[in-house]
Structure 1
Amino acid sequence: MNEQTMAGSRLRGYVSHGAELRSGELNPRTYLEETLTRIAELDGVVGAFVVVNREGARRAADESAKRWADGRPLSPIDGMPVAIKDIIETADMPTGQGSPLWEGTEGKRDSASVHALREAGAIILGKTTTTEFASKHPWHETTNPHDPKRTPGGSSSGTAAAVGAGMVPAGLGTQLIGSILRPSSFCGAVGFKPTVGAINRSGSHDHFSQSCQGSIGATLADTWAVLRAIADRAGGDPGYGGLAGEVDFTQRTKPVKLAVLETGGWSATTEGARRAFASLKHRLQEQGVEVVGRADDDRIETVEQAVAEALPLTTAIVAWEGRWPLNTYADLDASKLSLDARDRLKTAEAMTQQEFRELLNQRTAVRATYEEAAANYDAMVTLGACGAAPVGLGSTGNVAMNVTASLLGCPALTLPALADEGLPLGLQLLGRTDRDAALFDVANWVAGEALGRPDLVGRVA
């Protein structure tokens, strides 16, 4: 199965077809059957899904079709088939967390986000693969939809691969270090990591302080609409106001100034990736956008210095915060934990609480430095990954280009705007905390105008 077969004839986005859904020209059941056909044709090679609830999805699609026919859809995503990362609980499907320890564990409740999606009329189609506990170790052999010899990235491997293959218009992922942005970059999808706390994670096994739930979609509009629907019904994490703002995808406003952020991972990027990025930078400048870097603005260099140790800082924070539940998992059956998980537990057990408090103070200082600088630009831009997806399924790729946004807790998204080795490579945009909608405004213009790719935008019709 070649790239053209797997990723060429994409399934359409969903929310841009509101007029057709209202007129009856497009039916949610028909759309679902297209989705199921794509899965049947492609997932034997891609391996994006752990389970697909076909009959439940068909019942939900028929109910959605009635609502559209009666002129009373519950939301713009009513009838949209949505894939759910298998770290997020669902009442009607198991939640295995990418681990043999929990494989086949039957669901008893929906997470807050899944419950909200059902309230919005979305079809919870199936569970997608994740690395072990949404960390590094790839337990499932999910492949890249553009080249099955290459990794799809992780840990939101299955959701990114399913969207990148055109099997579904959107799905949920989670990100702690790079788990949405990197696989989206590798698989040619739009990936969005919102501001930390913007989406309610209750009922999801991603409890870390800089982790968040986000979305991966075929278009910007689909990607935004999924999280907007959740936030409207479930809000954000406890103590957070939730995803803020609205995005009008019919209006495109050119950004005034963008800042190029060359993080600590820049030295690991491929020559092809850097050429692609430089070409896009030149295109933006030709269209009248001021694009500045460290040589033009000392504030950018200050941010780059502040985030230079983002990976070791994040790794240490995550180790301490992951002590529980890893210690209880080891009590159950340590032989079912990967060596990576056992090593993280050993690291945590050697740490002290005071060390952890100092790490949090460092993170707070880094975030303040970034926010002060970011106020001067419409967005910061960088690569979505170090290059094209690497060959092999034993690793999910280098996290170096993604950990910065996670440490900062700011909104970040990746657009399938670039290429390396003839394969997808994302353009990453970073915004200011709680200004997620403003970041989408920038991405809307970049995709629709600078790239000339209205197909990446979509819109609520």
Structure 2
Amino acid sequence: MQDLTQWTAREAAAAIRDGLVTATDLVEASLDRIAAREGDIRAWAQIDPGLVLDAAARADRARAEGRPLGPLHGVPVGLKDVIDTADYPTEHGSPAHRGHRPETDAAAAAALRAAGAIILGKTVTCELATHIPGSTRNPADPGRTPGGSSSGSAAAVADRHVPLALGTQTLGSVIRPAAFCGVYGFKPSFGAIPRPGVLEQSGSLDTVGVFARSIEDLALIGDVLIGYDPRDGATRPRSRSTLMATVEADWTLPPTFALVRSDRWSDLAPEQREAIDELVGELGARVTEIAFDFAFEEGIAAAKLIREVEFARAFGSLADRTPDLIHPELRAVVERGRAASAVAYLDAKETRERLERLARAIFLDHGTILTPAALGPAPVGLASTGDPHFCSLWTFLGTPAVSLPLFEADGLPMAVQLVGARDDDARLLRTARLLVRSLAAAE
């Protein structure tokens, strides 16, 4: 039989619907892969084979009985261990939360189950979804970081443990790990995916994102997750998500791009810079370089201040109660957040509004921003998760972003990042698919 772990989620779901394989087949293939590879990759914080095999058996009975099947019926999915699940502990990568057992699923977990997905387990996260590394290794080179803080989710998809996994991004925790591990990563617009039951680090920035091995899979799971939840004030009433329909629609006009280099272009690894320059050369007149460098320094500084203030609010009492269980660097973040003035915090919010207006003008004129997803390949060593510089501004502005694993240097993945206008997620994914397909056709 074909190696089922090589299938995309869309292929797997179709095969189950058509009776070519069972959900049990898929889950067993995932568990076998994890058994063979987890000792090297360390992507999983919680996994219970008996639990997921029971879920797969229920999925198979549902199909046999002719019940309606959801778009992800029988497909195994990993969840970053900051997303509540009623059947697994949710420990947030923190000794202070060891053994924490939520009573209910997070909104995102519930949406996945309603769509028929099988939650295979909880993936490793950095401590409290920050920059303090967990145990996960990069499948491309176990001596290099997988990125963070959604380390386990990116590695699990890259190493074919699951076709899909959820992460979160407050600065760069989806786009950067996707780039380092060589998978597709999608951070939707702020407020697109409801966050009840997701660890709150910074309510003004936290965004649920996804990892996959195809753009179509990003659209497939995005349609399941995106929606309105009155418990999350960042969401809003919206019509049913139609990412997949938009992604696959014909588009007669080729997309255009604005190249944004940032104020740290000289810090790019030479191979990353060369890859971007080569891509820009291939796209030719469809790319216009624009001056937006000033926004990085100003915007990232404001984003970090907002994050520190809101981090202090979220975790200050925890740090006070259990200081020995919180990493010293995170206790320092709490203290910086507490020391920041209300004026500085409000100024940072005002900076976001001003930069959002400037960004909207760019999207109106050029459609999509093209920029690196990271400074280069994954750095050597496991003490750092890498620099989120090229991700943080777009998270701050609430815009959707997608990491495309188009490049490679000495066997190590590198990626380009596409950024779209806020709430225009479908167009961004369609542009990404067109770009990937056009480059593949030109080879």
Residue 424 of structure 1 is aligned with which of 405, 413, 418? 413
Give the 5 Å matches for 1:429-440: 429-440=418-429
Give the 5 Å matches for 1:40-439: 40-138=35-133, 140-208=134-202, 209-231=204-226, 237-241=232-236, 244-248=241-245, 249-251=247-249, 253=251, 255-285=254-284, 290-293=286-289, 300-301=290-291, 303-439=292-428
Q: Which amino acid aligns with 1:187?
A: C
How many aligned positions are there?
436
Unaligned runs of 5+ in 1: 1-7, 294-299, 455-461
Between the aligned partners of 1:18 and 1:97, the Cα distance in structure 2 is 30
Per the alignment, in what secondary structure is the counterpart of residue 69 of structure 2?
coil
For residues 312-336 of structure 1, the C-alpha deviation after alignment (integer angstroms, 9 at most, x for no partner) is 2211111111112321112221011
Between the aligned partners of 1:214 and 1:363, the Cα distance in structure 2 is 21
Task: Using structure 2 for the length normalisation, give the TM-score.
Answer: 0.93
- With 305-314 and 262-271 compared, the bigger mean Cα shift is at 305-314
CA 1:19 to 1:400, structure 2 compared with 1: closer, same or farther past 3 Å?
Answer: closer
Per the alignment, in what secondary structure is the counterpart of residue 214 of structure 1?
strand
Residue 258 of structure 1 deviates from its aligned partner by 0.8
Residue 104 of structure 1 deviates from its aligned partner by 2.3
CA 1:244 to 1:263, structure 2 compared with 1: closer, same or farther past 3 Å?
Answer: farther
Residue 236 of structure 1 deviates from its aligned partner by 8.9
Between the aligned partners of 2:278 and 2:231, the Cα distance in structure 1 is 38
Per the alignment, in what secondary structure is the counterpart of residue 361 of structure 1?
helix
- The answer on whether the counterparts of 1:82 and 1:168 sit within 8 Å (CA) in structure 2 is yes
CA 1:172 to 1:132, structure 2 compared with 1: closer, same or farther past 3 Å?
Answer: same
- With 261-270 and 90-99 compared, the bigger mean Cα shift is at 261-270
CA 1:236 to 1:412, structure 2 compared with 1: closer, same or farther past 3 Å?
Answer: farther
Unaligned runs of 5+ in 2: none
CA 1:314 to 1:415, structure 2 compared with 1: closer, same or farther past 3 Å?
Answer: same
Residue 423 of structure 1 deviates from its aligned partner by 0.6
CA 1:9 to 1:55, structure 2 compared with 1: closer, same or farther past 3 Å?
Answer: closer
* RMSD, matched Cα: 2.1
- The answer on whether the counterparts of 1:263 and 1:307 sit within 8 Å (CA) in structure 2 is yes
CA 1:396 to 1:255, structure 2 compared with 1: closer, same or farther past 3 Å?
Answer: same
Q: Which amino acid aligns with 1:406?
A: T
Q: Which consecutive aligned stretches of 4+ in structure 1 deviate over 6 angstroms post-superposition?
A: none
Residue 451 of structure 1 deviates from its aligned partner by 3.0
- The answer on whether the counterparts of 2:192 and 2:227 sit within 8 Å (CA) in structure 1 is no
Name the % identity: 33
CA 1:236 to 1:186, structure 2 compared with 1: closer, same or farther past 3 Å?
Answer: farther
Between the aligned partners of 1:440 and 1:376, the Cα distance in structure 2 is 18
Between the aligned partners of 1:18 and 1:337, the Cα distance in structure 2 is 41
Between the aligned partners of 1:211 and 1:14, the Cα distance in structure 2 is 25
For residues 398-440 of structure 1, the C-alpha deviation after alignment (integer angstroms, 9 at most, x for no partner) is 1111112111110001011112343101110000000000001
- With 60-69 and 49-58 compared, the bigger mean Cα shift is at 60-69
Task: Using structure 1 for the length normalisation, give the TM-score.
Answer: 0.90
